[in-house]
């Protein structure tokens, strides 16, 4: 198993997760408590789940003798609530695509342990994608009527 290759993909995943935390957390406190309590609450919960993903990936990096990244992927500040949800859906889609590629690399390298981490996290990202789609519909109805 090429540990350096696995550490490299894991760090790419960590950086995406760090970006997602800032993106969703930043959106969380932009939604007013009075008018958008559900979106506000959901975004905080999802941001916390992404933080747990950073933990899972980083733990594996350290177990493999690597150094975890603390860099963030690009964060996009959007002020339109509906556009925010579209952006977040795309972020989840990109993560799912990336993690599927990483799973293929884990298979090439015979790293079942890392593969299992990715498989578990992909399930969360699929759920997030669905939640953002639902939130988008909910906000559309609320804002546009």
> Which residues of the shown chain bind Fe ion in the complex (CB under 5 A)?
17, 50, 53, 125, 128
- In the complex, the smallest distance separating the C-beta of residue 131 from Fe ion, rounded to whole angstroms, is 9
Q: How many residues does the chain have?
A: 145
- In the complex, the smallest distance separating the C-beta of residue 102 from Fe ion, rounded to whole angstroms, is 12
Closer by beta carbon to Fe ion, 16 or else 36: 16
Q: How far is CA 19 from CA 1, 35, 79, 105, in A?
A: 29, 26, 17, 23
Cα separation, 51 vs 25, in Å, equals: 10
Closer by beta carbon to Fe ion, 71 or else 144: 71
Residue 112 DSSP code: H
- In the complex, the smallest distance separating the C-beta of residue 123 from Fe ion, rounded to whole angstroms, is 10
| Category of 69 on φ-ψ map: left (φ > 0), alpha (ψ -120 to 50) or beta | beta
- In the complex, the smallest distance separating the C-beta of residue 17 from Fe ion, rounded to whole angstroms, is 5
Closer by beta carbon to Fe ion, 1 or else 40: 40
Closer by beta carbon to Fe ion, 115 or else 128: 128
């Amino acid at each position: 198993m090429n540990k350096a290759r696995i550490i490299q993909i894991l760090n790419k995943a960590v950086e995406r997760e760090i970006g997602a935390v800032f993106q969703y957390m930043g959106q969380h406190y932009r939604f007013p408590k009075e008018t958008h309590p559900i979106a506000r609450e959901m975004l905080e919960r999802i941001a916390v789940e992404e933080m747990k993903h950073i933990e899972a990936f980083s733990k594996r990096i350290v177990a493999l003798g690597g150094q975890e990244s603390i860099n963030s992927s690009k964060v996009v500040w959007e002020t339109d609530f509906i556009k925010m949800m579209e952006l977040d859906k795309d972020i989840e889609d990109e993560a799912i695509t990336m993690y599927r590629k990483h799973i293929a690399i884990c298979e090439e390298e015979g790293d079942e342990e890392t593969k299992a981490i990715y498989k578990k996290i992909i399930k969360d990202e699929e759920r997030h994608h669905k939640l953002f789609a639902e939130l988008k519909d909910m906000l559309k109805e609320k804002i546009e009527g």
